[in-house]
């Protein structure tokens, strides 16, 4: 069995957080559910790079918005994929630090899960070196 992917899920709304946690856990993800951006930054700071597969946060958080959370988390771990979700559809302009922005209510849970699956699957890590193709090898292949 392959190891579970870990999602750091941040939302100040307790009900939304528990629903999102349930949705993700029933799909096989390990979820670290937190209510504040500061707690999330602490977890990112203390975690081994690569141990968190996705940061999923609400855009509108108290004290520090989700965009700032993503910006700071990416300073700590630049390879960490991030998704912001917001109930205000027009706030996507403020979500410039995230890899994906989804408006709450305008996307289905299925769409959200698919976006998460894609982000976790293409989690950025060190690029593998690819040997350059030699012109002689191309000529022989023809």
* Tens digits of residue pLDDT in 116-125: 999 988 654 4
At residue 46, does pLDDT exceed 60? Answer: yes
pTM exceeds cut of 0.75: yes
The residue-averaged pLDDT of 64-72 equals: 92
Instruction: Please provide the average confidence, as pLDDT, over all residues in the chain.
Output: 82
Residue 2: which pLDDT band, with cuts at 50, 70 and 90?
low
pLDDT tens digits, residue range 14-25? 999 999 999 999
Residue 90 has a pLDDT of 58
Q: Which domains does the chain have, with CATH numbers?
A: 6-141 (3.40.50.2300)
Ramachandran angles phi, psi of 70, nearest 5°: -65, -45
73 closest CA partner among 33, 42, 116: 42
Output the pLDDT for position 108. 82
Phi first, then psi: give them for residue 75, nearest 5 degrees: -70, -35
Give the integer Cα–Cα distance in Å for 67 and 94.
Answer: 7
What is the DSSP annotation of 37-65?
Answer: HHHHHHHHHHSPTTS--EEEEES--SSS-
Asked if pLDDT for residue 94 goes beyond 70, the answer is: no
Residue 32, pLDDT score: 97
What percent of the chain is predicted at pLDDT more than 70?
A: 75
Q: Distance between CA atoms of 139 and 142, rounded to whole angstroms?
A: 5
């Amino acid at each position: 069995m392959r190891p579970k992917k870990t999602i750091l899920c941040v939302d100040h709304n307790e009900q939304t957080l528990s629903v999102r946690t349930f949705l993700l856990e029933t799909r096989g993800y390990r979820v670290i559910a937190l209510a504040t951006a500061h707690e999330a930054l602490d977890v990112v700071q203390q975690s081994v790079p690569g141990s968190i597969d996705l940061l999923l946060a609400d855009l509108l958080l108290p004290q520090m918005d989700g965009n700032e959370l993503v910006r700071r988390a990416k300073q700590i771990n630049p390879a960490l994929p991030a998704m912001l979700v917001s109930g205000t559809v027009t706030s996507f302009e403020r979500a410039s630090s995230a890899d994906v922005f989804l408006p709450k209510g305008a996307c289905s849970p299925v769409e959200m899960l698919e976006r998460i699956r894609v982000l976790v699957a293409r989690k950025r890590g060190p690029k593998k070196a690819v040997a350059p193709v030699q012109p002689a090898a191309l000529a022989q292949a023809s």
